[in-house]
């Protein structure tokens, strides 16, 4: 069992994966999106298949007062589109008796990601990464924070 953390950004989508025991998250790379992360759903589906992901956790960028702004609504639409694509793949795979069917019964959830970028920058600074090297790593590290939050919450239930 592996979970995937997703931090949606305008330039990159940061990815993180859990260990099979669902105890810790680690960086898993970036997908470059050049302004529209809806085009990256196929790339995320490839990661889901390659890594045998069973749960996807998408960061929900709420405003500081907890309300949903434009970015949060866009993240919800992206998660809904991912769910629809996973359902389509599952329906097609079941019809074709395809092995992909097992990978498509995947839960997609949203996790409040307020301050994850701040936390990611702090963690990178503490890891002695110079600030000019943060930008390429911050999306992945934000995905780690998002996923670790979800793993910690799931472990407490």
Q: Give the model confidence (pLDDT) of 52-107 as tens digits.
A: 999 999 999 988 788 898 989 999 999 999 999 999 888 887 776 655 555 558 99
In which residue are the tokens 């609504």 written? 73
Mean pLDDT calculated for residue range 34-47: 88
CA 54 to chain centre: 12
Task: Spell out the alpha helix ranges (H) of the chain.
Answer: 41-51, 70-96, 116-126, 134-156
CA 56 to chain centre: 6
Crossing angle for the helix pair 134-156 and 116-126, to the nearest 10 degrees: 110
Lookup: tokens for 144:
């780690």
Q: Give the model confidence (pLDDT) of 111-153 as tens digits.
A: 988 755 555 556 556 655 555 555 667 778 889 999 999 999 9
Q: Which fold has domain 2-156?
A: Nucleotidyltransferase; domain 5 (3.30.420)
Domain residue extents for the chain: 2-156
pLDDT tier at 157 (50, 70, 90 boundaries)? Answer: low
Q: What is the pTM of this model?
A: 0.84
Please list the residues that pair with 145 across neighbouring strands. Answer: none
């Amino acid at each position: 069992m592996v979970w995937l953390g997703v931090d949606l950004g305008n330039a990159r989508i940061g990815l993180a994966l859990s260990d099979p025991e669902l105890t810790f998250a680690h960086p898993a790379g970036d997908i470059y999106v050049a302004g529209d992360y809806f085009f990256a759903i196929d790339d995320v589906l490839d990661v889901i298949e390659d890594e045998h992901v069973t749960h996807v956790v998408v960061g929900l960028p709420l405003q500081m007062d907890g309300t949903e702004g434009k970015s949060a609504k866009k993240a919800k639409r992206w998660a809904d589109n991912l769910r629809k694509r996973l359902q389509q793949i599952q329906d097609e795979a079941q019809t074709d008796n395809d092995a992909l069917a097992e990978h498509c019964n995947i839960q997609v959830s949203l996790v409040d990601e307020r301050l994850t970028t701040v936390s990611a920058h702090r963690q990178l600074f503490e890891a002695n990464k110079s600030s000019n090297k943060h930008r390429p790593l911050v999306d992945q590290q934000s995905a780690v924070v998002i996923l670790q939050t979800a793993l910690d919450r799931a472990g407490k239930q």
